[in-house]
Amino acid sequence: MQQKESYDVLRLIEHGQICYISSENVQGRTLARYLKYHPVMEKKEMFLLLKAIAEQLELIHRCRGNPCYQYVNPYSIILAEDGRVYFLDMKAETNRKQVVFMQRRDMREYFLPPEENYYQNASKELDIYGLGKTFQYILASSETEPHLNRWEEHRLQSIISKTMGTKGSYYQSVSEIQKQIPKWKEKVNKESSGDKGKRRWKIYIALFFAVVAAGYMLIQQRKNVPDGIIKEQQKATSNANTELRTDSQENEKRDEEYLELALAYFLNVGNVEKSRICLNELTNKELAENLKMLIGAYEKQECPEDVRKYKESLAYLEKVWKKRSKISEEKQKQEIQCLIRGYGLLDDEDSVEKVLELVKRGMQTDYLNDPVKKEMLEYQAAACEKKKTEEEAAKIYTELLEMEQEDGNREMLYKKIAQLYEAAGRCDMAMDICIQGIGELKESKELKLMHIRFMCADPSVSREECSMKIKEYVRDDGQLPDQEEFKKLQKEYAIKMEGEEVWVGR
């Protein structure tokens, strides 16, 4: 259920060209929470939202002393009940919890440039960067109705790229961004799509005959053209080739923008369908198709039937991304994450080693937040299992246990670690992990039954010790003897029960 809370926010008062800051308390929710419960919004609403956020930041920059906000991200932006947009008052004691949250490593890594490790520097450039990342977050977390057209998508991606300086150019002020945000216009379609199609074909046919006629005339005239004019024509051709090269560079930049968004959907948001839509916009169709194959396999969590083709696809991605991954650690992390997800679906020895190598590379990068680290450790542990190095896998799952908060997942990890230690011949460690898990999850029947089995199967553990432990578990949980697994253990180890007394026969 969506929660509305009370926040102390900045109230910005315009007076001519100067703006004054005061504080007020409003009921609302953070932008991040709003998007969680509103994954679909009207196109008009999105454009107005982007404009309102930029407008508030521009007003902050216009205040006396030219202050900077410093914490521009979806968790510092508040959407009030009346629909207005505000920035949190970061100096208010009531917002202390939000400040601490924004200092988290995964927050800093996403909303700050790679060279900025902490929210300690304040500048307009960093505010503009955070604004671009916030726009990117909005696009990745929501859909518009109707969908954005290609021009609108390209315009928004261009804004985001320029805020982050990926094109080598930067915005000098937020007001420049405001002017470039698409405006909502109600469109009245006077022509049907069929009429438009017919008109388009007429234009194509007319252009075709015009080109043919022009070519014929050029051939006829060229015989009598002076050398000077021919040189001018050659110069014009050269200029046209230069323009083609420029177009090619623009296509590469545009491809990078769509690729960045596709990877954000795939790796961060988990929306593979939106990722495919972005990949369809790439002019580099080979890259798009190979990445779509990886995404499709990951979505189904199984390797395609044509394993050889799938491996070739992964090798292609590894090759073409080698240069891209050197641009920044963020892009390197994207490459590693994608390839781990791809090779992680294969069981052959080379693929297992590839996963372990990629995880090792990933762990060496500083651009690594907790969710990504957790995913890498999961693939590393699974690779160790495939490699039959169970004790190593158990140690990695123990590290994952320290990161896990949910009781159900922690119970599964305790069982997994115990089973791996058993497979590695370390029954002492298997029993220790069971005891640790039972101490934490006192209601876990499965961990108690697993511990009973390990004790009874270990000849170094006396039968009296086994009996005492079973008696303790049954006293704490009267339903334990009704479990099917307990009944199997009774038969296997001749466990007898009379009242509160317990004996283990073998």
Residues in contact with 144: Cβ distance below 8 Å, sequence separation at least 6, in sequence order: 40, 41, 42, 43, 46
Give the rounded percent of residues in the chain with a pLDDT score beyond 90: 48
Give the best-scoring range by mean pLDDT among 146-160, 269-283, 424-438: 424-438
Among the listed residues 393, 311, 376, the one whose alpha carbon sits nearest the alpha carbon of residue 337: 376
Average pLDDT over residues 41-66: 90
Segment 89-130, tens digit of pLDDT: 988 888 888 888 888 877 777 888 877 767 777 888 899 999
Average pLDDT over residues 282-292: 94
What are 167's two structure tokens? Answer: 């094109």
Residues in contact with 258: Cβ distance below 8 Å, sequence separation at least 6, in sequence order: 157, 278, 279, 281, 282
The CB density around residue 372, as the number of other CB atoms within 10 Å, is 21
d(CA 159, CA 178): 10
Quickly state the pLDDT bin for 301 (edges 50, 70, 90).
very high
**Angle CA 132–136–139, to nearest 5:** 140
Return the exposure string of 253-280: e unless at least 16 CB atoms fall within 10 Å of the residue's CB, then b: ebbbbbbbbbbbbbbbbebbebbbbbbe
**Angle CA 437–443–449, to nearest 5:** 65
According to DSSP, the β-strands at 501-504 and 85-87 are unpaired
Q: What is the pLDDT of residue 106?
A: 74
Average pLDDT over residues 248-252: 77
Quickly state the pLDDT bin for 167 (edges 50, 70, 90).
low
Q: Is the peptide bond before 459 cis (omega within 30 degrees of 0)?
A: no
pLDDT higher than threshold 60 for residue 200? no
Q: What is the pLDDT of residue 193?
A: 45
Average pLDDT over residues 226-238: 55
Q: What is the pLDDT of residue 129?
A: 92
CB 355 within 8 A of CB 344: yes
d(CA 458, CA 427): 8
Segment 207-230, tens digit of pLDDT: 555 555 555 554 455 445 455 555
d(CA 259, CA 295): 13
CA torsion 247→287→324→351, rounded to 10°?
A: -170
What are 84's two structure tokens? Answer: 């207005």
In 3-state terms, what secondary structure has residue 483? coil
Average pLDDT over residues 154-163: 88
d(CA 235, CA 178): 40
pLDDT higher than threshold 90 for residue 366? no
Mean pLDDT of the chain: 84
CB 351 within 8 A of CB 343: yes
| Element spanning 135, H or E | helix 124-141
Quickly state the pLDDT bin for 183 (edges 50, 70, 90).
confident
Average pLDDT over residues 5-9: 89
Segment 446-482, tens digit of pLDDT: 999 999 999 999 999 999 999 999 999 999 998 999 9
Task: State the DSSP string of 419-442.
Answer: HHHHHTT-HHHHHHHHHHHHHH-T
d(CA 391, CA 375): 19
Segment 369-382, tens digit of pLDDT: 677 888 999 999 99
Q: What is the pLDDT of residue 326?
A: 77
